[in-house]
Amino acid sequence: ERNLKMNCNYIVIGTICFYESSAPIRYGIAAVEEQGAFPAILDAAFDLTSDFAKAKHLADLCNEQKLSASHLRDVAEDFVLSE
């Protein structure tokens, strides 16, 4: 089982999808831990939405609630099911 730290920040990540012509960029969120100049990605959920604002709102909620990275996959699944 992965040991994911609780003190992380959530950021929006984008993926370019060459198979979708109408919404080529899909957004997700990543749990990151600051380590020097570059953040270390603890976990990520890709391809959640084509709406940047929705992904940003989800990342902001995770930060506000201080969500442990170990719960990211459950939150991502709930988010997709609610779309």
> Are 31 and 18 a contacting pair, CB within 8 Å?
no
Which band of pLDDT confidence, cut at 50, 70 and 90, is reported for residue 37? confident
Distance CA 67, CA 83 (A): 21
Which band of pLDDT confidence, cut at 50, 70 and 90, is reported for residue 20? low
Percentage of residues of the chain with pLDDT beyond 70: 87
CB atoms within 10 A of CB 52: 12
Residues 6+ apart with CB under 8 A from 54: 27, 48
Helices (H) and strands (E) in the chain, counts: 2, 3
- Please state the pTM of the whole predicted model: 0.84
Phi-psi region of 36 (alpha: psi -120 to 50; beta: other; left: phi over 0): left
- The per-residue pLDDT for 9 is 94
- The per-residue pLDDT for 38 is 82
